[in-house]
Structure 1
């Protein structure tokens, strides 16, 4: 599977090696008509709109970022020229979830 920025596999569950007490996690799914969208690009933009990271959604449409505490934008670029921005806050010790329907 192709992955951006040397990201680990985008799976539904956090890897056992992740200590959530020390991490702020943003993860979500991308779907179209209720079906997962694989191969979409999920981009993480900081509060100023600057590009920070990018991953490719898994077969199940899953993406995940490890981010600093704060407010972020997740931009999803999907096949067919679809682009969707979503605002989300990341906090250490939490998994911030996002469901993106395109």
Structure 2
């Protein structure tokens, strides 16, 4: 079992969204249904692994990052997918990652 903290759209108490850059969202299949239990990886601008969480049962995930270019990659039984994002500053930035069977 992974020791990742519970994921979801609500930020933990004490997180100041005006100072933190938060990447959050949901893993979805190609029909728009939530994909729970997906492994969601955060890769830096050069494609290097930075962090990984397990999406909640409703497909939610969250990372704390810095402004810049990142790739969010989801790996699941329903398929894989990724999205490149570029949050430009602090705040909550929402992105969905769509997974598809190859």
Give 2:90's aligned residue: 93
Give 2:23's aligned residue: 26
Q: How many Å apart are 1:14 and its aligned residue?
A: 1.1
Give 1:12's aligned residue: 9
TM-score (normalised: structure 1):
0.85
Structure 1: state its 5+ residue gaps. Answer: none
Supply the RMSD in Å over aligned alpha carbons. Answer: 1.6
Distance in 2, matches of 1:26 and 1:52, equals 13
Structure 2: state its 5+ residue gaps. Answer: none
Task: Tell whether the 8 Å contact from 1:45 to 1:72 is kept in structure 2 after alignment.
Answer: yes
Secondary structure of the 2:18 match is helix
Task: Tell whether the 8 Å contact from 1:44 to 1:75 is kept in structure 2 after alignment.
Answer: yes
Deviations 1:47-100 (A, max 9, x none): 0000000000001100000001111000111114x2212011134422111112
Give the length in aligned residue pairs: 98
Give 2:45's aligned residue: 47
TM-score (normalised: structure 2):
0.85
After TM superposition, which residue ranges in structure 1, 4 or more long, deviate above 6 angstroms? none
